[in-house]
A and B are shown apart, each in its own frame.
Chain A
Amino acid sequence: MAATGETPSEPQLEPTDDQTPPAIELPEALRAELDLLVRKYPDRRAALIPALHRCQEELGGWISPRTMEACAAYFGLEPVDVYGVVSFYPMFRLRPPGEHVVGVCRNLSCDLRGAPEIVAKVCEITGAPAGGTSPDGRFSVELLECQGACASAPMLDLDGIYHENLSEEDVERILGGLA
């Protein structure tokens, strides 16, 4: 959980490269999926967090203001309610990430087994600063809190897939093909 950037700044709420007016509708296929999701719960809003996960996966790896507006419309909520939820949960991104996202756990069990060296190696290979995105936009590096891989530390998460029991050589092998 918990991607923590090293130089926290206010989330960028206005996408600068997108001049199109807000779309209130979600893409049709996604909407159809959400229609199934809400049926799992006695109250529609309960599907909000799983729905935001699907939106983030399908709509650029982050939750843009327009996605928040579209979700608000879908769930019958105010956009600020959706923002309140999105901003509470570390897995939701308020800024677009790089093409690949590499998360490294730096909590205690991982730290004791060399997480700082893994972070340094990941930053070296990707050219991204810890908690930021590489200048070419290919990689974001997130520093994570405990991921439940304590007995197989250190670990990294590449685009949602765990890689565990890492050595620096493993990091080279895993990221080498992408960098």
Chain B
Amino acid sequence: MNVLEFTFLVWAGALVAGFLGSLTGLGGGVVLVPLLTIFFHVDLRYAIGASLVSVIATSSGSAAAYVKEGFSNIRIGMFLEIATTLGALFGAYLTAKVPGNAIAIIFGTVLMYSAYVSRRTRPRTDIEQPPDRLATKLKMNGAFPDTSGIRTYNVYHVPAGFGVMWVAGTLSGLLGIGSGALKVVAMDQAMKIPFKVSTTTSNFMIGVTAAASAGVYLSRGYIDPSLAMPVMIGVLIGSLMGTRVLVKTQTKSLRLVFSVVIVLLGVEMMFKGLTGGF
């Protein structure tokens, strides 16, 4: 393949990934690394570097759309970013120490897990509990607009959420992904933050988390401009298209199809990792 063909095909692939990722809410970043390594035979480190850059682009680019809704909680986000950025720094250092095949196996596991999380229905019993002392001290309890006016909420289990966030940050730095699924789990499941607040706050955190490992990637030479360029532009245009289109009737079946794609890519990554393909 020559430069022109390669750039165009990678751009087109990234566009589709970004489009499906934002349309289904599953995130496009998670399929970029398998796409680049399996179909374009790109070295894992270059693929991780390009993917991370596109994660920053989508997170920052879509922030305006999320803020308008008034759901995100800046204090929760900022406090938990301490955990995610430290984790991301640690994860970025690990990429040089952990063999490529092990990274591929971890990647495969994360792909399957994020597909599983997106399919699961969340049985949540919101029992009224007294406000958590630590969360109150950290001024995390908030309010957001609901159909029935302003709804207030309390935040619980801050240390557990902080711990899961550290893991999410580490995986983000190790794999070059946004770790959005795990961030939502930390807030929604562990800290009992309303789902809408969790997802929008998570989107904000993804860009800051990714920036923490991007510097390390850059100085290690993982970010190749000729490869990251079509990936970033493709994902950015694709995800902006995805937020505009909003085909409500088709989203459910599309989600299922995209989940299946993610699982298959996860299986392939694991298989290649186990057979020493990286």
Are A and B genuine complex partners? no
Q: Tell me the B residues contacting A by CB distance below 8 Å.
A: none
Which residues of A line the B interface, CB within 8 A? Answer: none
